[in-house]
Structure 1
């Protein structure tokens, strides 16, 4: 598993790339909730805070339980400072407070980019080239 390190706030976290099956399975669950935000990752260029807010606009408690925590779990998301994996509400409460809650969502954003940005970029590139070919005809 390829592991990346993220510095969010002043804390260090790690997460890994998922295997293909888990990524595909979780992408199917994720797509309807965050499709607008994921599309922004494949457009190239800088992702701004408004993009992050758009990504999370469809979240609810069920999304946390059914999608976000499984993604964090499969990615082996880990708080170096707390020496704890982040894969459940209890882990979230242990590693984050209301004062740094945004850090949790920034971490989720980084894990999503790590695992799904290449897919979204390839998809956009593939269908972008086919759209251009159709337009020529």
Structure 2
């Protein structure tokens, strides 16, 4: 499996692409959660115009436990500095604090892009809609 390295803040993390079954299973779970974030990106002219609260509008406590942490586990997310996987509440608390909480969500975003951006790009191209990072024109 392909392993990627992410630098978020001043810390380094690694993650791998999931297998096809896990990616398909999680894609079904994130479709309603990710819809607000994808809509926000599609409507913005650039990343800096995205409303932060729109990005988080699909998240709740259950989402962390049943979707986010299992996705991080399936992607074998690892904190290089902490020498620790990031796949549970305990791992999150060991690798992040209130001052670096945004870094956790940036890490989640990078893992989601790693695993799902190619699917979304191909599907959106196939059905004639702009993909992630492409301009929306009317």
Identify the TM-score tier after normalising by the shorter chain.
Answer: 0.7 to 0.9
- Confirm or deny that 1:10 pairs with 2:7: no
Q: CA RMSD in A?
A: 2.1
Kept after mapping to 2: 8 A contact 1:41/1:120? no
Shift of 1:50: 1.8
Tell me which residue corresponds to 1:106: 106
Distance 1:39 1:23, change over 3 A: farther
Distance 1:49 1:24, change over 3 A: farther
Aligned positions, number: 128
Tell me which residue corresponds to 1:36: 36
Kept after mapping to 1: 8 A contact 2:86/2:92? yes
The higher-RCO structure (CA 8 Å, 6+ apart) is 1
Structure 2: which 5+ runs fail to align?
130-138
- Confirm or deny that 1:85 pairs with 2:85: yes
Kept after mapping to 1: 8 A contact 2:41/2:50? no
Q: Considering only CA atoms, is the larger Rg found in Structure 1 or Structure 2?
A: 1
Shift of 1:55: 3.0
